[in-house]
Amino acid sequence: MTATTALPATRRTARAARHADAPDTRSLFTRLERLEEGPGREQVRDQLARAWLPMANRLADKYRDRGEPREDLRQVAALGLVKAIDRYDRATGPFEAYAVPTIDGEIKRHFRDHGWDLHVPRRVQDARNKVRRALRELHNTGHPHPVLAQIADQARLSVELASAGLEAMDAYSALSLDKTFAPDQDDSYSLQSTLGRDESRYDLVVDRESVKDALQQLPEREKEILYLRFFKDMTQARIAERLGISQMHVSRIINKTCARVRTQVLADTGPQRKAA
């Protein structure tokens, strides 16, 4: 039997779990425990932080493709490292085994609190994470399109909370309005182009319907002049030439007729507007 296989299982696991960026700092932790608060303790604490910082950076870099700046994640990991150093008890086992989940937890907390483009309550954020794990587990066990009840059961959530978690799946990051879909095709479009907007011509439809009755009551000559001006887009000079009258006369007819139609429409719709 070789020396390696003769080692107890717990020792073999501990050695296998160590990384190259996990220094032997047992003596520093021993000194830290014996020192009172003061400059000496702070110096040892800083030495420990510098020694373990490469490991904290490695843990932070695992999350580098999730939308947060790399330097921000490394700062959060460094904060988690300091917390782990302050709270570590040598009796619990190797520092690495304690520090890794502490730093990971600090990074995940950062994502929960600061990484969302939309504000989502903490309980819904937690539900989202459980729903995501449940979906992955269901897919792996032959359920590619699970229904809501299956998801809720797998995630051990109520149907209502599972539904909220599903909706939150799309709330972590928002698309830019400038994002282009099908950019390599002739019919490409941006997200902004799909948004609704006020249609000013709707008001024109309302105005036209409002003046219909008043226009029908006009004398034929005035009706013809308004038609040529506003529907055929003819100039006053061309209308005058066509009807054999002066341009000034055409202008007066248009102004007086429009004023009369406006007065009549307002008189007819006034009571309705007041009632509204």
CATH number, domain at 222?
1.10.10.10
Kindly compute the dihedral angle of the four CA atoms of residues 33, 38, 43, 49, in this order, to the nearest 10 degrees. Answer: 60
DSSP for 99-124, please give it.
HHHHHHHHHHHHHHHHS-SS---HHH
As for how many domains the chain has, the answer is 3
Which of 173, 193, 211 terminates a domain? The answer is: 173
Interval 25-53 mean pLDDT:
91
pLDDT band with cut points at 50, 70 and 90 for residue 1: very low
What pLDDT digit, counting tens, does each position of 102-123 carry? 999 999 888 777 666 666 677 8
- Pair 205, 261 in one domain: yes
- Pair 165, 94 in one domain: no
- Pair 92, 140 in one domain: no
Residue 186 lies in a domain: no
236 and 247 Cβ atoms separated by less than 8 Å: yes
Interval 185-195 mean pLDDT:
72
- Pair 53, 69 in one domain: yes
The residues, ordered by sequence, that sit 6+ positions from 261 with a Cβ below 8 Å of its Cβ are 211, 214, 215, 218
- Domain range for 252 is 201-275
Tell me: pLDDT of 136 over 60.
yes
Residue 185 lies in a domain: no
